[in-house]
Amino acid sequence: MSLSPFKPVPAPATATPVRRRPSLDFSITGLIYCSMMMFMGLAAINSQANLLFGVFGLMIGILVVSGTVSRIVLKKLLVVRVLPKHGVVGESMTAYYEITNAKRFWPSLSVTLAELDGVEGFTRQPHSYMLHAAPKMTASVPAELIPKRRGLHVLGRYQIATSFPFGFIKRAIIERHKDDVLIFPALAQVDGRLLAMCRSADNTGESIRPRPGGADEFYGLKEFRSGDNPRHIYWRRSARTGVLVSKEMTRVAPPRLLLLVDTCLRDRTPASHALVERNIATAGSLAATALDQGLSVGLCAWSGGPLSILPTRGKQQREEVLTVLARLPLNTQFTAVQLLDEFQNMMKPGTTVMLLTPTDPGLADHARGGMLVLRADDDSMGQYFRFGAEVNFTTCMPPDQEGSIV
């Protein structure tokens, strides 16, 4: 059955309410004031009293002044968003709006700003309130946002409104400026026992093999080069050979962790989507915690095609892994078995391989020895990952993925 083009499609029950003010409106106080003004006008006409005519004219003047001043207040206001680099689902983040009053003489007072586009990524419509901005001055006002969906959210249109000076008339105008903010998946507190399992699974890798380039124990000798630490020069050998040589020390590299993230949807039900989102959040939590503790972490997933990140350490790696997880698209074809086959060459000795999957992947003959498997539908996962009570995985997918849920 086709929908009529004149019948609006109802928004999902989980949609964030968006309030859009009309360009000109009367408040309840304004309606009462207008009723009193009309009553005063009828009384003046009926009695022909000059005093009542004067009061009636004064009330009309006050209403005209209210409408004119409210219009002037909103003129020449320039808004610039100062957004954080990224946010995390379920965690509060603060955005700032720098509102510049470009008018020469008139101040702007009691201005409300509300976003109209991109609000589906947050639990409520982003809005802020500016009390005062002097002429040729800039006021910075904060807005607290709580993300509810991962992904890249584009903020476009916004509305500024005011009811200054008397609160009788409400005026609003819509402006447009494009900005975007990236929201990472929800991050949980990871139990230390799980990381201990990852370390213990790597019993023949880098965790016990010495590598050059550290400062632990003597590893060997090498020719001294410009930029090397002069304290490591081996003077006895240098004096005997006539060539400067320096000591090279060992370092103990941390274990490498390779995360295989299965995002394949068995069906398009809300429960299946929730399991996939929990699985993505689990992978992000494990990767962030492991990287914070100095482990090397890599990632393999399907992102419109096979995508891999080689294991390494550092804050940049943490941000890159979480960025990829935040922007993972809908996957209904690339299964866990295909994931293992595609990235088999990355499962090298010395690397702990962990498969994160929403449900039983049915590996059978594809199981790999020494590989750890974490299932999002396993009740015991709550022992290792503790998400905040405000995280609702049924609403964590990007808005474009929710549209076709059945």
Confidence of residue 369 (pLDDT cuts 50, 70, 90): low
Residues recorded for the chain: 406
pLDDT at 22: 92
* Residues 129-158: tens digit of each pLDDT: 999 999 999 999 999 999 999 999 999 999
The answer to whether the CB of 388 falls within 8 A of the CB of 146 is no
For residues 267 and 280, give the distance between their C-alpha atoms in angstroms, rounded to a whole number. Answer: 17
Confidence of residue 245 (pLDDT cuts 50, 70, 90): confident
The answer to whether the CB of 290 falls within 8 A of the CB of 257 is yes
pLDDT at 1: 35
pLDDT at 151: 93
pLDDT at 81: 95
Q: Which of 111, 144, 140 is nearest to 126 (CA)?
A: 144
Q: Which of 218-232, 233-247, 249-263 has the highest mean pLDDT?
A: 233-247
Burial of 181: CB neighbours in 10 Å, binned 0-12, 13-18, 19+:
buried
Confidence of residue 59 (pLDDT cuts 50, 70, 90): very high
pLDDT at 371: 78
Write the CB contacts of 122 (distance below 8 Å, at least 6 apart in sequence).
16, 145, 146, 147, 148, 153
Give, in degrees to the nearest 5, the angle at Cα 396 between 393 and 398.
Answer: 150
pLDDT at 213: 53
Is the CA virtual torsion 25, 27, 31, 34 positive or negative? negative
Give, in degrees to the nearest 5, the angle at Cα 118 between 108 and 153.
Answer: 120
User: Between residues 111 and 212, which one has the greater pLDDT?
Assistant: 111
For residues 219 and 120, give the distance between their C-alpha atoms in angstroms, rounded to a whole number. Answer: 57
Give phi and psi for 248, each to the nearest 5. Answer: -115, 125
In this predicted structure, the answer to whether residue 249 has a pLDDT above a threshold of 90 is no
For residues 393 and 202, give the distance between their C-alpha atoms in angstroms, rounded to a whole number. Answer: 32
pLDDT at 205: 42
Average pLDDT over residues 170-198: 90
pLDDT at 199: 66
Average pLDDT over residues 185-198: 85
For residues 136 and 12, give the distance between their C-alpha atoms in angstroms, rounded to a whole number. Answer: 43
Beta strands in 253-371 (DSSP E): 256-261, 296-302, 306-312, 351-357
Write the CB contacts of 329 (distance below 8 Å, at least 6 apart in sequence).
303, 304, 401
In this predicted structure, the answer to whether residue 226 has a pLDDT above a threshold of 80 is no
For residues 158 and 17, give the distance between their C-alpha atoms in angstroms, rounded to a whole number. Answer: 15
What residue type is 29 in one-letter code?
T
pLDDT at 229: 76
Average pLDDT over residues 83-92: 93
Percent of the chain with pLDDT over 70: 86
pLDDT at 388: 87
How many of the other CB atoms lie within 10 Å of CB of 401?
Answer: 20
pTM to 2 decimal places: 0.80
SS3 151: strand
Domains and CATH numbers, the chain: 24-184 (2.60.40.10), 189-197+254-402 (3.40.50), 210-252 (no CATH)
pLDDT at 4: 36
In this predicted structure, the answer to whether residue 193 has a pLDDT above a threshold of 60 is yes
The answer to whether the CB of 300 falls within 8 A of the CB of 343 is yes
pLDDT at 217: 56
Average pLDDT over the chain, rounded to an integer: 84
Confidence of residue 3 (pLDDT cuts 50, 70, 90): very low
For residues 7 and 112, give the distance between their C-alpha atoms in angstroms, rounded to a whole number. Answer: 32
Least confident of 99-103, 192-196, 205-209, 359-363: 205-209
pLDDT at 237: 80
Q: Report H helices in 327-398.
A: 336-342
Give the pair of three-digit tokens for residue 170.
């409400």
pLDDT at 208: 44
* Residues 284-319: tens digit of each pLDDT: 999 999 998 888 899 999 998 899 999 988 899 999
pLDDT at 335: 85
| Pairing mode, strands 256-261 and 296-302 | parallel
Least confident of 92-96, 174-178, 246-250, 363-367: 363-367
In this predicted structure, the answer to whether residue 5 has a pLDDT above a threshold of 60 is no
Question: What is the C-alpha R_g of the chain?
Answer: 31
Confidence of residue 14 (pLDDT cuts 50, 70, 90): confident
